[in-house]
Amino acid sequence: MSRVLSTQQAKDAINQVKAIITGGLQDEITKLDGQGKVLSDPNVWDGPLAIKFRGEVWPDTKTALDNVKTELDGLREQLDTIAQNIFTAGGAS
C-alpha cells in the first residue's frame, strides 16, 4: 500500500496555487493579450517594426498565451481533484 499524507502545508500550497491561477496570473495574461491587440492595430502603431510585430511576434505570443491559459485551467482542475482525493483519504479538513 502506498503512503497517503496530507498536511496543512500541502492544503495551503494547493490553495495558493489555485488563487494565483484564478486571480492575478489569469488577469495579467488577459491584460497582456489586450495590450498585444492594441499594438497589433495599424491605426495605433505602424511601420516596419509594427508590421513585424503584427505578422510574426504577436501571433506566436498570442498562441503561447492561449496555451498557457489552457494549461493553467487544466492545472487548476487537477488541483481540485488532487486536493479532494488527498484530503478525503488523509482525513484532513
Domain tally for the chain?
1
For residues 62 and 1, the model is more confident at 62
- The answer as to whether 56 is a domain residue is yes
pLDDT at 89: 64
Q: Are 18 and 79 in contact (CB under 8 A)?
A: yes
- Interval 29-45 mean pLDDT: 96
Quote the radius of gyration of the chain (alpha carbons, Å).
20
- The answer as to whether 64 is a domain residue is yes
- The answer as to whether 68 is a domain residue is yes
Query: Is 45 in a helix, a strand, or coil?
Result: coil
Q: Is the pLDDT of residue 60 over 60?
A: yes
- The answer as to whether 66 is a domain residue is yes
* DSSP assignment letter at 42: T
pTM: predicted TM-score of the whole model, two decimal places: 0.75
Which set of grid coordinates corresponds to residue 14? 494547493
Residue 50: give the domain boundaries.
40-86
Q: Is the pLDDT of residue 90 over 70?
A: no
As a whole number of angstroms, the distance between CA 80 and CA 76 comes to 6
- Interval 28-46 mean pLDDT: 96
- The answer as to whether 71 is a domain residue is yes
- The answer as to whether 75 is a domain residue is yes
